[in-house]
Amino acid sequence: MKNSAMIALTWALTALGMVSPTLATVLPVTPGGWTLAILPDTQYYAASYPSIFYSQTSFLAANKNTLNLAYVLHEGDVTGSNTTSQWSVASTAFQTLDNAGINYSIAPGNHDYTSDSTDRSSLMANYFPVSRLDNQPTFGGVYPDEPNSPLNSYSLFSAGGKDWLVFALEFGPRDEILNWADGLMKANPDRQAIIVTHANLYCDGTLYDWNTKGTGQRWNPHAYGFGSMTPPPNDGMEMWQHLKDNPNLKFVFNGHVLYDLTAYATTVGDQGNVVHHVLANYQSITNGGNGYMRLLEFMPDGETVNIRTYSSTLESYLTNPNQQFTISLSSPPPLMRHAVGANMVVSGPAKPGEAAFTLTVPQSGTPQVGTTWQYNQGDYQLTVGPEDVTYSKGILMATVAQNLRDGYRATVEVGRNSFSDGQLALSVTQAGQATSTEVNFNVSTAWFEFDAGWQGAHVNADGTLAAAQGVVSSMVSRSNTGRYAVDLDVDSRSDGMLFAVGNNNSNKIVDTGVRSDGSGWDIRVQNNAANFAATGIDADWSLLYLPYDTENLIGGRYDGINGANLNSAGTFTMTRQSAGVYRLTIPGESPETGMLILSIAYEATSGGVTAPDDNIMCYENDGLGNFLIRSYDLTGSSTLSAQNTQFVWAYIDFSDPICVPVPEPSTWLLLSSAALLFAVRRGKKRLVA
């Protein structure tokens, strides 16, 4: 487990290692296109790094024509503590935009109010009075019941042949503010509407939702002094319920949230319109954000928007998939019916305590697995194209893809909430250790998205479900300490394969046993140093079920004791080389064209109860293009012995991966009519929101 001090230290040492900056002059806009610029939280610039704030607005002024810059949004937390000196810095920075004739809106953040949101008073009106905003030709006005306050305003501009309506709304907008915005949207149905407000989308790609998630999502407007005021604030979900019947609503932008630098989600309104929710906040990296801003290029087709992230001080773009991606104004991201696999290679020694900070993805499926962030030795997080791997969205399976490194062996878990942000984090630990000792090892991983229909679940230590698709509570139960029963209403011997992985950030392994009557599986979670025991350790874990008729499946259940395929799909050859060593050959494929997921699947009975084998599995390239799979018996010490076992395996091709069947038309209708969320996000937290 990682403590906050270690996270902060790692961040300080490698703050930009996660984002793959690419030095570049600013990209000109496509002829006929235009740019919307977004300034995330500038609170640390205003307090400590004013030159960075000035560089942002100077950059926009200098590149106004290159970008065909139509408008600028500020997402709030202009200042860090609502002081005259900090507002003065902000005023000077925005004067550069005034002088260049660049129009903008500013939404206040919680730090822009008195005493960090104990009431709604702010010094913003002293530095950005309504009279100053009114000098912009695009300025429409403010909330009429507060005529001298700039805290809620709207603007009108045209670009790309479309008319736009922009709202800059207070932190946690009150009902009357949302009613006012709703009325203006309905009065201007031909204008595409944009809302910028400080808190809307959380870092896990879901809307802030106090009524459902409470303090499970940090920094909700209800958690501040506003929460006890009358009238109360509205969070992201409450705003959505107020405004989702407006077919012209297109975007909601926000900052505020730590843990992760970005998030992206879409919702579908009452009239079928797609609304794009975009979070960006860079305050927790070096120098309070290093001048990063969002540049949205609206293409001439009126449909495509390219989202990029640029630093005015580093003169570089961030190019990993969650920082640079493309969206369609009228369409949500497509469902990923296929699994997305990737090989991950980490540099440096395996020896515990010797950290390495270079992590690459040499081969990946589509959409591409993005540049990963390594917190410290053995801890990795990743993105899948514009999708983040959060536990509420799907199952991430991982397998150690290296049999031996510097004399060490390893196991891998997929921690569900290791850093309190909902993102699945790989945790690679030395095998045979009684305590968690993380090591650098190559791993392979595959993402299975719930919305596409993959059947799986994240199981809590008590046997209840944290998130699932196609698995209900009656299918999983805790039978003993660290022992669980799974019955998916299929024949576990012949219909399909169950894969399992630890869902912690520790040193747990999960082994499965196939019941001899086919009625299901028995599961044991245990420490990866433990020898066989009837009981295990209560801990979180995850399961994925793959039926043998899965599209494009190459895989099966293999009896390594007798050297026989028990059930399988696809064309391959599996041969036992020696005790616990198996060579897998797939015609036309190799460990560079795809990857494996592996799980113990031992079928043996003891007193009528299946006893999962206490082995660990790993594999690597044998140098001849084959997969060399190894099974090691846990002996209670760091000395492991090769041992034959029974296991399930599946090959995930990078170019032609396994898929779930296309749902029936009625199912598609159900999916498209719901206000579904699709998320993208990434990064980590160091400072206060």
CB 122 within 8 A of CB 129: no
Q: What pLDDT does 367 receive?
A: 85
Bridge-partner residues for 338, per DSSP? Answer: 659
With residues binned 3-state (H G I as helix, E B as strand, rest as coil), the percentages for the chain, rounded to 5, are: 15, 35, 45
Q: What is the residue type of 275?
A: V
Phi, psi of 292 (to 5 degrees): -70, 140
CB 480 within 8 A of CB 533: no
Q: What pLDDT does 458 receive?
A: 96
340-346/359-364 β-pairing: antiparallel
387-388/340-346 β-pairing: unpaired
Q: What pLDDT does 640 receive?
A: 86
Q: How far apart (Å, rounded) are the C-alpha atoms in residues 58 and 72?
A: 13
Q: Which two tokens stand for residue 670?
A: 């159900």
Q: What pLDDT does 217 receive?
A: 86
Q: How does DSSP assign 611-670, residue by residue?
A: ----EEEEEEE-SSS-EEEEEEE--SSS--EE---EEEEEEEESSS--BPPPPPHHHHHH
Q: What is the mean pLDDT of residues 618-632?
A: 96
Q: What is the pTM of this model?
A: 0.69
Q: How far apart (Å, rounded) are the C-alpha atoms in residues 636 and 632?
A: 12
Confidence of residue 260 (pLDDT cuts 50, 70, 90): low
Per-residue pLDDT reduced to its tens digit, 291-349: 999 999 999 999 999 999 999 999 999 987 788 999 999 988 777 789 999 999 988 88
Q: What is the mean pLDDT of residues 71-80?
A: 97
Per-residue pLDDT reduced to its tens digit, 436-469: 688 889 999 999 999 889 999 999 999 999 999 9
DSSP H or E segment with residue 671? helix 665-673
pLDDT at 358 over 60: yes
Q: How far apart (Å, rounded) are the C-alpha atoms in residues 651 and 548?
A: 12
* Cα four-point dihedral sign 265, 271, 273, 277: negative
Q: What pLDDT does 216 receive?
A: 80
Per-residue pLDDT reduced to its tens digit, 642-676: 999 999 999 999 999 999 976 544 333 333 333 33
CB 428 within 8 A of CB 327: no
Which range, of 75-84, 463-472, 515-524, 527-536, averages the lowest pLDDT?
527-536
CB 157 within 8 A of CB 166: yes
Q: What is the residue type of 679?
A: A
CB 541 within 8 A of CB 483: no
Confidence of residue 532 (pLDDT cuts 50, 70, 90): low
pLDDT-above-90 percentage for the chain: 68
Q: How far apart (Å, rounded) are the C-alpha atoms in residues 9 and 505?
A: 19
pLDDT-above-70 percentage for the chain: 87
Question: Interhelix angle for 175-187 vs 236-243, to 10°?
Answer: 40
Q: What pLDDT does 359 receive?
A: 78
Q: Which residue has the higher pLDDT, 187 or 335?
A: 187
Which range, of 34-38, 334-338, 572-576, averages the lowest pLDDT?
334-338
Per-residue pLDDT reduced to its tens digit, 362-406: 999 988 886 655 667 778 877 787 666 888 889 999 999 999 998
pLDDT at 122 over 50: yes
Q: How far apart (Å, rounded) are the C-alpha atoms in residues 165 and 140?
A: 9
Q: For 482-536, where are the E strands, in sequence order? A: 483-486, 496-502, 508-514, 521-527
Cα–Cα distances in angstroms (integers) from residue 25 to residues 295, 310, 481, in the given order: 14, 10, 59
Q: What is the mean pLDDT of residues 259-264?
A: 78
274-280/292-298 β-pairing: unpaired
Residue 390 DSSP label: B
pLDDT at 100 over 90: yes
Residue whose tokens read 């009325």:
183
Q: How many CB atoms lie within 10 A of CB 541?
A: 26
Q: How far apart (Å, rounded) are the C-alpha atoms in residues 596 and 620?
A: 10
**What's the burial of 489, exposed, middle or buried (CB within 10 Å: 0-12/13-18/19+)?**
exposed
Q: What is the mean pLDDT of the chain?
A: 87
Q: What pLDDT does 1 receive?
A: 31
